Structure 1
């Protein structure tokens, strides 16, 4: 077994992370969309319980206080509860959409980064001298290019 396989590195290496993050540079838009959708999803997740609190305070156990939704909500309790329920369902649908966008774009960017890294490794192996392949088992090299990336 080769010496380089026996040496284990530390859990987090900032220099290695900087090198790997350089591969994300061509895909900054998909990563940005993914990060923005995570932030909006976090806000949507917090708004759900807030809507329930408004429903309870305004219609079920009335408490005299104003909310940002007062101009949108009906004074009729049945209509107001239905409006809040519709907003809650809309928040859930928005959450599903944002989760989908975040997952899709982050997965796509990750796959593209791995593809670029594999292409770079393959290109590097193509330029190696013939003696390199005599010293290193080809199976290990193929495994490094395909699986270890």
Structure 2
């Protein structure tokens, strides 16, 4: 059987999942916010349809007000959902990168002193900050 994901990719996914696992409830909240905002985005078309069909075509001010209110409610819900999703994903990303930096730093502390004799400290520090910053932009 042909695998769509290579063994190396599966290992990378497992490693990333181990860093995200402590924040599973926040990730679930972000996923829920994503589903809600996707549903609201799809419902905006129905809101416009309702506003045109019930408000403009029937020439009823009450129905027009109700359909505009519904449309405004969808817009507010979309704004809240988008904010929640963005906040949670950013929060999780910051925490994961902080955990990753801590793990890398802890590993550097445990290395044999000979490692530091063979490698320049400025290069090690540059790699530590640059690589984790790159990962932060990916996350």
Q: TM-score, normalised by structure 1?
A: 0.77
What are the Cα deviations for residues 52-90 of structure 1, in whole angstroms up to 9, with x where unaligned?
A: 21233334346xxxxxxxxxxxxx711111111011111
- Structure 1, unmatched stretches of 5+, are 1-11, 63-75
| 1:12-91 superposed matches below 5 A | 13-61=9-57, 77-91=60-74
What are the Cα deviations for residues 21-63 of structure 1, in whole angstroms up to 9, with x where unaligned?
A: 210000011111011001000111111111221233334346x
Aligned counterpart, 2:92: 109
Give the structure with the larger helix fraction.
2
CA-CA distance at 1:141 after TM superposition: 1.1
Aligned counterpart, 1:127: 110
* Structure showing greater Rg: 1
Whole-Å separation in 2 of the counterparts to 1:84 and 1:59? 7
Aligned counterpart, 2:122: 139
**Cα distance change of structure 1 residues 93 and 59 upon mapping to structure 2, 3 Å threshold:** closer
Which protein has greater RCO, CA pairs closer than 8 Å, 6+ apart? 1
Q: Count residues with an aligned counterpart.
A: 126
Q: TM-score, normalised by structure 2?
A: 0.82
